[in-house]
């Protein structure tokens, strides 16, 4: 959460911060990412990602997923 707040603080008025995180889905990321790349993944849902921007003055805050559903994206826009 500290990193998100610091990145958000660097935005110009009206700027948009977009951060991605792995989304738990039936399409497995276990084999390619955890076994081949040796990455330990932290899966987060919408509520967990929205907590990253708690306490920030945002004009917009939402999450969505990219086309495969594997990556959840947090969008936070700074007021103008």
pLDDT interval class at 68 (50, 70, 90): confident
pLDDT at 40: 81
Mean of pLDDT values over 30-39? 75
- Lowest-confidence segment of 25-29, 37-41, 46-50, 62-66 by average pLDDT: 25-29
Angle formed at CA 49 by CA 17 and CA 42, multiple of 5 degrees: 110
Mean of pLDDT values over 34-48? 85
Q: Is residue 28 over pLDDT 80?
A: no
Tell me how far CA of residue 11 lies from CA of 4, 8, 52, in angstroms: 11, 5, 16
Domain ranges of the chain: 2-77
């Amino acid at each position: 959460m500290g990193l998100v707040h610091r990145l958000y603080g660097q935005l110009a008025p009206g700027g948009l911060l977009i951060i991605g995180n792995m989304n738990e889905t039936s399409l497995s990321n276990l084999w390619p990412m955890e076994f081949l790349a040796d990455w330990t993944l932290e899966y987060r849902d919408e509520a967990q990602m929205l907590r990253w921007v708690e306490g920030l003055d945002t004009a917009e805050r939402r999450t969505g997923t990219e086309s495969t559903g594997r990556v959840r994206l947090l969008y936070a826009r700074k007021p103008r």
